[in-house]
Amino acid sequence: MMDALLYSSLLGLVVWITVAFLRKQRDNPKRLPLPPGPSKRPVIGNLFDIPDDAPWVTFSSMAQKYGDIIHLKVLNQHTIIISSMEAASDLFDKRSAIYSDRFQSVMLTELMDMGWSFGLMDYGDMWRKIRKIFHQYYSASTIRQYDGLQLENVRVFLKRLHATPEKFFDHSRFVFAALLMNVTYGMHIEDEHNEHLVEAEKWQHGFNQAIQPGRFWVDYLPILKYIPAWMPRANFKRLALQWRQNMYHARDRPFDGAKADLIIGTATPSIVTEALESIADSPDKAEQELLTRYSLGAAFGAGVDTSAPTLQLFFYAMLTYPEIQTKAHAELDRVVGPSRLPTMDDRPNLPYVEAILKEVLRWKPVTPLALPHYTATSDEYRGYYIPKGSIVLGVSEIFIDCLSFTTCTEHIQECLASLRFVFVISLEFALIIPNREMLHDPVEYPCPDQFRPQRFLNPDGSLNPDVPDPSVACFGFGRRICPGRFLSLNSLFSAIAAVLHTFTITPALDQNGKPVEVELRMQSGMIPHPEPFPCSIQPRSLAAEALVTN
């Protein structure tokens, strides 16, 4: 009996090794080496080489040691770190069919049941269908119809800033959360305690944890998903269950509420109601409705967590560069005047404010690693073997490195010395744009660590179309480019113009009446957020105060 067991185990082992060997032969017939990288420990590989906090900092220093294409392996998961424009362009642009999939995280897609989200889906038919619906309602030509709602939400934002300026971080988040709920589901969110908002924020928090490669072991060792949630150390299972419930609530209740209101004729017009009406007579109505639910369900998570930190960084920029604020005030006074708020119709006449928005997006992009991509098949590149199913990341830490350089000359020298890192603000950049258009390329953007909106302007103050527009680059490129970018740019412009028109942002004062110096710190995560900092936000004048409060 024991012998039979031993023999069958040995046979099983031999079959397993043979299959693994043949598969390797098939995928890598030339027996090419993997790209270089730090040495791997037995079984766990580079598990302890990837920190939870700010992994791009580590990736960046690894790139200095190993070059612009690095291989890491954690348990059985290959990860390729790309850190040059040349490599990124070759892979993500020229071979986009191979490099456009997403990493199918067990934690996200299975345990949190987020496989429906097209932002996480592999490139394919389902992705195409759902993205098409999204595009229908958030495209450049559609979003202008939300201008009115946008202004309404910005008015609330200004009132909140006036009432509790010290909470400007929360208000900066709330304005986008409320806008997206408003536009998408027709909901009017009164405050942060709204139950749908609370659930959406919890889900978002979980998503941010789970999207970070290496954050949960189960992504490297999928068998762990079978561990029962009650077991000690199965915290990830309990968290996933909680976040999954938050997700169901946030995705479905607002949708179902709008649908129910539509049936009884009391619905506030919104994207959901428009979409449901458009498919009312469709033969495959049930399927269309499900796809619509999935499509719109992606907006909140993708939109709030990116737009909010961008607005928070705007406050930091204004605090740090008061002379820029003064120039923006002058433009707004001249174009808009004291008796009304700026509207989207003013936008073409406010090039300086437009340049401020561009510079905020360029200065500190909030998606330094974009979203991880995944290889659909194995590939050969520069004589290296890139295994099928590798996570492929671009390192963009250079923008943080740049901040530490104080003078322009020093900065340029350093950036030029490490130019390959300049090229990797996001791996998606490589899909379309050439080197010269990188966000911190010191040739295109001299002194890139400095906040200088005027870099986008001609001497006569008009926008200079020859300066590469960072709003294109920071939203990714190619097949996966951010489909919410039009709404995002409009709403960011609206909020920034309104704040500049009505408030002055200055350093907060300490107990002795001295200005508090602020050192910006970024929190870790795939979408690093600025840590809260103090500042004073006061109405610019009595007329401005009246505009805010009336």
Residues near ligand HEM (CB under 6 A) are: 118-119, 131, 138, 298-299, 302-303, 306-307, 310, 366-367, 370-371, 426, 428, 474-476, 480-484, 487-488
Calpha distance 515→320 (Å, rounded) = 12
Considering the complex, what minimum distance in angstroms separates the CB of residue 143 from ligand HEM?
9
Kindly tell me which of 14 and 481 has the beta carbon lying closer to ligand HEM: 481
Considering the complex, what minimum distance in angstroms separates the CB of residue 234 from ligand HEM?
30
Give the bridge partners for 74, in sequence order. Answer: 45, 77
Considering the complex, what minimum distance in angstroms separates the CB of residue 318 from ligand HEM?
17
Kindly tell me which of 10 and 481 has the beta carbon lying closer to ligand HEM: 481
Considering the complex, what minimum distance in angstroms separates the CB of residue 360 from ligand HEM?
9
Considering the complex, what minimum distance in angstroms separates the CB of residue 298 from ligand HEM?
4
Considering the complex, what minimum distance in angstroms separates the CB of residue 465 from ligand HEM?
21
Kindly tell me which of 351 and 476 has the beta carbon lying closer to ligand HEM: 476
Calpha distance 327→387 (Å, rounded) = 53
Considering the complex, what minimum distance in angstroms separates the CB of residue 37 from ligand HEM?
23
Calpha distance 79→81 (Å, rounded) = 7
Nearest Cα residue to 84 out of 382, 366, 402, 427: 427
Kindly tell me which of 46 and 306 has the beta carbon lying closer to ligand HEM: 306
Considering the complex, what minimum distance in angstroms separates the CB of residue 301 from ligand HEM?
8
Kindly tell me which of 27 and 122 has the beta carbon lying closer to ligand HEM: 122
Calpha distance 17→538 (Å, rounded) = 70
| Residue type, position 218, single letter | V
Considering the complex, what minimum distance in angstroms separates the CB of residue 108 from ligand HEM?
13
Q: Is the dihedral of CA 514, 515, 516, 519 positive or negative?
A: negative
Read off the tokens for 45. 């590989």
Calpha distance 427→413 (Å, rounded) = 23
**Contacts (Cβ under 8 Å, ≥6 apart) of 425:** 365, 368, 394, 396, 398, 399, 438, 439, 440, 473, 474
Kindly tell me which of 119 and 342 has the beta carbon lying closer to ligand HEM: 119
Considering the complex, what minimum distance in angstroms separates the CB of residue 549 from ligand HEM?
28
Calpha distance 500→332 (Å, rounded) = 8
Kindly tell me which of 161 and 181 has the beta carbon lying closer to ligand HEM: 181
| Residue type, position 253, single letter | R
Kindly tell me which of 89 and 367 has the beta carbon lying closer to ligand HEM: 367
Three-class secondary structure of residue 506 per DSSP: strand
Helices (H) and strands (E) in the chain, counts: 20, 9
**Contacts (Cβ under 8 Å, ≥6 apart) of 128:** none
Kindly tell me which of 70 and 296 has the beta carbon lying closer to ligand HEM: 296
Kindly tell me which of 296 and 544 has the beta carbon lying closer to ligand HEM: 296
Calpha distance 484→480 (Å, rounded) = 11
Calpha distance 219→102 (Å, rounded) = 13
Decide: residue 477, CB within 10 A, 0-12 exposed, 13-18 middle, 19+ buried.
Answer: buried
Kindly tell me which of 119 and 539 has the beta carbon lying closer to ligand HEM: 119
Considering the complex, what minimum distance in angstroms separates the CB of residue 140 from ligand HEM?
13
For residue 272, give Cα distances in angstroms to 133, 151, 480: 11, 20, 23
Calpha distance 305→336 (Å, rounded) = 30
Decide: residue 343, CB within 10 A, 0-12 exposed, 13-18 middle, 19+ buried.
Answer: middle
**Do residues 350 and 342 make contact, with C-beta atoms less than 8 angstroms apart?**
yes
State the Cα torsion 532-372-424-82 to the nearest 10°.
Answer: 140
**Contacts (Cβ under 8 Å, ≥6 apart) of 337:** none
Considering the complex, what minimum distance in angstroms separates the CB of residue 208 from ligand HEM?
14
Q: Indicate the residue whose CB is closest to ligand HEM.
A: 484
Q: Tell me which DSSP letter residue 517 carries.
A: P
Read off the tokens for 389. 């199913």
Kindly tell me which of 200 and 547 has the beta carbon lying closer to ligand HEM: 200
